[in-house]
A = this chain, B = another copy of it.
Amino acid sequence: MSTGGEPKRRSACPLNASLEIFGDRWSLLVVRDLMFRGRRRFKDFLGSDERIATNILAERLQRLEANGIIERRRDARDARRVNYALTEKGIDLAPVLVEMIVWGARHEKTAAPPKMIRDMVRDRDAVVTAIRERWKNAKDT
């Protein structure tokens, strides 16, 4: 399983290229957990409301890593534990996530976490910038 696989993909359309990577029910939920909820570990992802199965999660984590969206690292202080982190490429998904969240909050009945949604609607760029800042400062974690 070579971790640093180059994207030899050749979709005619960039949208299709994106969908080939994260066009499924689970991949972006994992990215959300990393990006907005500070989750890092296998067990954390299992705890989300959507109840992903362990085998599905394992496969998605591999796929996201193979596509350069997340990185897998052993915890520096406790070698038994594994941490996942977003790469630059993964952080660049922030605008996509924000727009999907804004759309879902506007058009679907969700038990919406109200504050962050209102922030996103009011100033999406600020939210995206804040995410980037937070990950820049946490790069050593």
- Listed in ascending order, the chain A residues whose CB lies under 8 Å from chain B are 7-21, 23-25, 28-29, 32, 49-50, 68, 89, 92-93, 95-113, 117
Contact = CB atoms under 8 A, between A and B. Distances in A.
A110 B32 contact: no
A107 B95 contact: no
Given A24-B24, A24-B25, A11 B108 contact: yes
Given A10-B110, A108-B9, A110-B10, A16 B103 contact: no
**What 6 A-B pairs are tightest by C-beta distance, nearest first?**
A14-B104, A18-B104, A17-B108, A14-B105, A17-B104, A95-B99
Contacts of A100: 14-15, 18-19, 96
**This chain: how many copies in the complex?**
2
B24 A108 contact: no
Given A23-B25, A23-B28, A25-B23, A14 B110 contact: yes
B49 A12 contact: yes
A8 to B, nearest CB: 7
